[in-house]
Amino acid sequence: RYHNYVFGDHLLYHLPAKFHVKADIQQLLVSVVRDSECEMYPSISSDESYSLVVKEPVALLKANRVWGVLRGLETFSQLVYQDAYGTFTVNESTISDSPRFPHRGILIDTARHFLSVKTILRTLDAMAFNKFNVLHWHIVDDQSFPYQSTTFPELSNKGSYSLSHVYTPNEVREVIEYARLRGIRVIPEFDSPGHTQSWGKGQEGLLTPCYRSHQPEASGPINPTLNTTYSFLYKLFKEISWVFPDRFIHLGGDEVEYDCWESNPNIQTFMKQKGFGTDFSKLESFYIQKLLNIISTLKKGSIVWQEVFDNNAKLQPGTVVQVWKEQNYAKELSSITAAGFPVIISAPWYLDRISYGQDWRLYYAVEPLNFSGTQEQKQLVIGGEACLWGEYVDATNLSPRLWPRASAIGERLWSRQDVRSLDDAYRRLTVHRCRMVRRGIAAEPLFTGYCDNVLK
C-alpha cells in the first residue's frame, strides 16, 4: 500500500535523473521488536510508537507493535518528495515518535444522510494519512436506522430510509477489517433514550406515547419504565458487542426532551413510586444506569455524552465522558476529571459548523489540557474527536468538509504540546493537503495556491 502511495504510477517507468546522487536508499527495512499483534484489533492501549532512521543504503523503521509500523510508514511516505526532474528524494532523518493522546477520533453520522461503504472506506484511508485511530460511527438516529440487526431485522426493515440504505453484517465486517488494517478502532454509537424515533418503527412498544388532551398522539424517547425495554436493549447490545470487537460502545445519552415523559400518566405514576418528584433527569439517569449495567454484564466499556454526567447518573468507574458543549467546556473538563472519569474532548472541534476563512487555525490553537486541575486529572484526558454531523453532509461534501480541517486537529492530538506555530503548520498542511489530493482524497484548499503533480 505505502509503496504505491510513495511512488504511485512511477512503478511502471523510471524517469532519468538530471544529476547523479552519491547516496541512494536501496531499502526500507521494517522490524517489529515485540509481539507484532498483527492478528489483533487495535485498542485504547495500543503502542503506536516507532523510530525511523533514514540513511543510505538502508532506512530502518522499528516499532514495538504493528501499530507503530503503520504510523512510521505514513511518516516515511511524507518524507519522500519528487523534484522537477521526477527524481524521488528523501532527506536523511532520525525520528523517534509517539502520539500525545491515545484516542484520536473522527465522528461520522450515517443516520441523517446514508454514507456508502465506499465513502466510509475512503474516510478511513484519509484518517490513516492523518494518524487518526478511532472511527466513531454514529450509525443510527431519529431519521434512520441503517444498521441491519440479525436479532431485530425489523429495526432496519422499517427504520432505514429504504432497504438499499442499510449496512449488512458483511459490510459492517468489511469496515471493521479495513479499519483494523490501518490501525483504526471502530466504536459504534447507538444513542438513547432520545434520538430514537427510527427505532420505534421496527420495535413496537419501545417508545413513550406522548399525550395531548388525554390521548396519545405521538411518540417520544424510549420508555424507561417497562421491563420489555431492558429485555430488548440487552438482546440488541449483546449482538452489537459481538459484532463490534472494540472494548467500548458509545451509548449517547444526550439531548433527551422531557415533554413527552411529562405528558404520560403511566410515567407520572412511575416517577411518584420511585420518589423522583418532577425531576425527569432522575428518570433519565435511572434508564442510563440500567443500560450501563447491561453493557457491563456484556464485558464492554461505555462512552457517554456529557449530559449523562451532568444529570448525576451513577457512572461505573472507567466510563468515558465525551464533552461536546462548547460553552464553559474547560469547567466541564475540570468537573468530570475531578470525579475521576476519563474524558474525550469534542467541544471545540465540531466540523459541521463552517465559516468563511481559515477556521483550521482555531482548531489547531486548542490546547486540550487548558483547564484547571491536578496532573492526575489531566492524565484522564484520553484524547479528542473531530465531529462531522450529517444534517447537511453526505458523500458529495463529506471529504472536503473534513479535510484538511481535521488534519489540524490530528496534529494537535498527535504532536507535542509545544508544537504551536501556525505558520509552520500552514506550510505543512498545504503540502499535506496536496498529498491527500494526489492519493484520491477530495481535500479542500487551505487558501490560494496550487498543487504540484496533480493531474489537470
The full DSSP string for 398-454 is: HHHHHTTHHHHHHHHHHS-TT---HHHHHHHHHHHHHHHHHTT--PPPSSS---TT-
Distance of CA 250 to the CA centre of its chain: 11
What is the reported pLDDT for 12?
Answer: 42
Grouped pLDDT means (10 residues each) for the chain, 456 residues: 84 49 84 94 98 95 98 97 86 96 98 98 98 98 98 98 97 98 98 97 96 84 97 98 98 93 94 94 95 97 97 93 96 98 98 94 97 97 98 97 98 97 97 95 95 72
Q: Tell me if 446 is assigned to some domain.
A: no
Residue type, 203: Q
CATH number at 359 reads 3.20.20.80
Residues 90 and 140 in one domain: no
In the Cβ-directed half-sphere of 126, how many Cα atoms lie within 13 Å? 29
Residues 327 and 206 in one domain: yes
Residues 332 and 193 in one domain: yes
Q: Tell me if 213 is assigned to some domain.
A: yes
Q: Tell me if 445 is assigned to some domain.
A: no
Residues 73 and 170 in one domain: no
Q: Tell me if 451 is assigned to some domain.
A: no
Q: Annotated catalytic sites, by residue?
A: 255
Residues 47 and 129 in one domain: no
Residues 198 and 339 in one domain: yes
Residues 88 and 144 in one domain: no
Residues 29 and 49 in one domain: yes
User: How many CB atoms sit inside 10 A of residue 108's CB?
Assistant: 22
Q: Tell me if 27 is assigned to some domain.
A: yes
Q: Which residues of 7-19 are buried (b: 16+ CB within 10 A; e: fewer)?
A: eeeeeeeeeeeee
Domain boundary among 66, 81, 97: 97
Residues 263 and 352 in one domain: yes
Residues 119 and 88 in one domain: no
What is the reported pLDDT for 455?
Answer: 61
What is the reported pLDDT for 11?
Answer: 45
**In what helix (H) or strand (E) does residue 283 lie, and over which residues does it extend?**
helix 280-297
Q: Tell me if 444 is assigned to some domain.
A: no
Q: Tell me if 5 is assigned to some domain.
A: yes
Domain boundary among 52, 74, 97: 97
Which residues span the domain enclosing 234?
103-439
Residues 240 and 334 in one domain: yes
Q: Could you give the number of structural domains in the chain?
A: 2
Q: Tell me if 248 is assigned to some domain.
A: yes
Residues 143 and 192 in one domain: yes
Domain boundary among 54, 71, 97: 97
Residue tagged 532519468 (cell numbers): 16
CATH number at 91 reads 3.30.379.10
**In what helix (H) or strand (E) does residue 202 lie, and over which residues does it extend?**
helix 197-202
